[in-house]
Each structure stands twice: as structure tokens, then as C-alpha cells.
Amino acid sequence: MDNYKKRIICLFALCLMVLHLIACGEIKKNTIVSNNKLESHTDNKNNYWVTKIIDYDIRNIIDAKIVNNKLWFILGWKKGIHRLNLNTKEVKYYDNDVKLNENIGYYNAISHFDDNIWFYPKHLIYSDPKVSQAVLRYDISKNKFTKYLDGKPDIHINATIYDNNDVAWIGTHKGLFKLDLQTSEVGVINNEYINDIVGTNTDVFIGTSNNGIFKVNKKTYEKSNILKSKFILGLKLYNNNNHIFANIGNEDETAFFACYNIHKNSFKYYNEKDLIDENVQYIHIGKDNIGFITTKLNNKMLFYQFNFETEKFDKLETNYELNNNLIFDAIFLNQYFILGLDNGVLIYNKSSESYDIILKNIKAEKIVNINDSKLIVLSSEGIYSVLLK
């Protein structure tokens, strides 16, 4: 047998050995988990590329934001701020770097406006009067952290928004503060107990604990009470700053959501009992849309998603049995409803009415989308990226 035939036989034998090892599970790709290709529960087949970015001790994830391909996140059991570079897979933990002393407490909320990322202890009230609740600003262009309202333990910070003219608006239990980022001067604009704030180019809208929603003009500070006598849990701007959703404490059971059309200066109210017959399992208030997840008596999952044109909630009935699964997070992305569950990630395609469960048997506590087709999942087993079909 000449050398050429010997080489062919050896190469063929080597290929068979490699194929055997792969089939036996001895050789795996380093970054692609084994269940990257999944069969749908219908006749269709969907492909999802699931990549484990990094092993990290993710427990009790509080908040997460992706800014410039960097994932910022806060863990409930650990002080400080974490940043994962999605390109280099490098994790940086900010604690001593930003001088988060023991008396600062935990940050639990992240906001991103232009070149600034804000961290603040939303609704955290400590029994220790010495505890200071500073708001922390990270300037992306300067790679610099700055603390504001430090050393003021009697101020409970609940929300921040940033203005293009180097002004930040901070909602606290003692009112609305205007912060000049150049001079660090703070002015009190309103003395209401504020739970949340949102802003347009001209106005700041504040949701209060006792007196509903106020609109405050940024230049004149003139205020008007546009929704009275309501306990406002949260506010969110949508639809190119044309709609504001208010999550209302429904002690009187009259409404649990109100939609304010800014251009029309009109409110619409949405009673939970008018929308759905069963208890709400999860309320999704995302950056682009809003919706509900619930179940019927037969345990089939229902989605309700807001339609900005009709200002009504569209109902979608699914064939997925939610059973006793806990829902940690949810995002509505184009034709997909994606849920972070206590036993994996549910991807429901409303166009094909099909669903898949990926990353089975992990607790998916937080889902953040990079774009319309790529997600980041923060889970009990680490951080993953998911590329949709």
C-alpha cells in the first residue's frame, strides 16, 4: 500500500473517532451549550444559538442595563455594581473604586440617559438614621463616577432622570430635586412624596403617594395636578413620549392602570377586572411596551399587550400551560413573548403560535435585549446570550 492510500485510511479513521467522541459527548464546543438547537412543540423547528458568556454567581438580580455593549447589573446580596464587557467577557466589580463605604447601603436601580448611567437606592428606607443614600452617576465619556446627595440620610431617593442641559431631576420622599451637574447645587422644586418621575423635553411628570400626578414645567417650575387623589406606584413613558402609563395602587379597586395621552391631555383607565377574569401572574412594563401575563381556569397562559393606536389591550390566548412556574422577568419583542422562569426561558412565537423552552432547569431571573434578535439572560448558572431565529 503506497503512502497516499495510508494517509487516506488514517484520515478516515481519525474522522470516525472524532465523530464517535462527539456523539458520546466527550467533545463539545466551549461556548455553545448542548441544547442550542431545539424542537418546537408544533410541527415547526426553531433554531436558537445559546452561548454561555461567563460563569458568575448570579443570585437575586435586582436590575440590569446594557449600554454600549456592556452589561451593568446589581445583585441584591452584594453591595456595589458589576459590569460585564460583552466583547471581552471581562467582569469589573465597582466597590472601592467608587468609594461605596459601609454606610452607603445597596443600590437597586439603574437608569441610562445619553452619556450618563445613574445608580440609586429606589424605595430603600433604612432604620439606621446614619445611613446615607447617595445617587451615583457614571459619566461614560469621562469614565468617571460622581456621588450626589451624599451625607443626607433623611432623603430617600426613588427615581432619577437626566436632562440634556446637564441637569438631573431626582424624586425623593421629600420632593423633587433639581441637581446642577456642573456645580452640584441642589434645589427643591416640589415637596410632594414622590414614588417615580418621567420627563419630556419641556416637563417633568411626578407620581406621588397621596396626590396623584403632577406636571412640572422645567423652566418656570409651574405645576399642575393632572391626576388627583391617586396613589401612584410607577410611571413610564412610551410611544415617542406621547403616552405615560401610571401604575396605580388600587385600594378603591377603580383602576390599576391609567394611560395619559400627552398630546390630547386625556386619561384612560384600565380596571383589572375589566381586562381579565383571572389573577395577574406578571405585569411587564418594558422600555418599548406594556403587557400582562395571566392564566385561565384550564391553566393556559394568556398575554395582554397594549396597542398604542387603539389605546386598548390586545388579547392572545396560548397553548402553553404555565402550571406553577414562577415568572421572574418578561419582555415582548416583535413576534416573541420571552419569559424568564424558575425552570428555564420560555420563547413564545405569537406568529406561529409555537413555543420553546431553552436553558432548562435554570432560574432565569433577568432578561435584557441587546437588539431585536439578541438577548442576555442572567441566571442561576451564569450569564448567557440567546440569538433568536
| pLDDT tens track for 193-227 | 888 899 998 999 999 988 899 999 998 989 999 98
Q: Is 108 exposed, middle or buried (0-12, 13-18, 19+ CB in 10 A)?
A: middle
Instruction: Say what percent of the chain tops pLDDT 70.
Output: 74
- pTM, whole model, 2 decimals? 0.78
List pLDDT tens digits, range 133-184.
Answer: 678 888 899 988 888 877 665 677 778 887 766 888 888 888 888 888 887 7
289 or 329: which leads in pLDDT? 329
Mean pLDDT along residues 51-62: 86
Q: Which three cell numbers stand for residue 335?
A: 413576534
Q: What is the pLDDT of residue 23?
A: 34
88 or 229: which leads in pLDDT? 88
Mean pLDDT along residues 95-120: 70
Mean pLDDT along residues 261-287: 73
Residue 279 has pLDDT above 80, yes or no: no
Fold of 33-60+276-389: Methylamine Dehydrogenase; Chain H (2.130.10)
Neighbours of 64 (CB within 10 A): 22
Q: What is the pLDDT of residue 39?
A: 30
Q: Is 332 exposed, middle or buried (0-12, 13-18, 19+ CB in 10 A)?
A: buried
Residue 132 has pLDDT above 60, yes or no: no
CB 212 within 8 A of CB 194: no
CB 120 within 8 A of CB 136: yes
Residue 129 has pLDDT above 70, yes or no: no
Confidence of residue 53 (pLDDT cuts 50, 70, 90): very high
Q: Which three cell numbers stand for residue 107?
A: 443600590
Greatest mean pLDDT among 18-22, 84-88, 225-229, 347-351: 84-88
- Three-state DSSP state, 199: strand
Alpha carbon of 336 to those of 272, 316, 369: distances in Å?
24, 12, 12
Residue 16 has pLDDT above 50, yes or no: no
Please choose, from the candidates 265, 230, 260, the residue with its C-alpha nearest in 3D space to the C-alpha of residue 245: 260
Name the helix (H) or strand (E) containing 189. Answer: strand 186-190
Residue 30 has pLDDT above 70, yes or no: no
Mean pLDDT along residues 315-328: 82
Mean pLDDT along residues 254-275: 79
Residue 50 has pLDDT above 70, yes or no: yes
84 or 273: which leads in pLDDT? 84
Mean pLDDT along residues 355-364: 91
Residue 378 has pLDDT above 90, yes or no: yes
Confidence of residue 368 (pLDDT cuts 50, 70, 90): very high
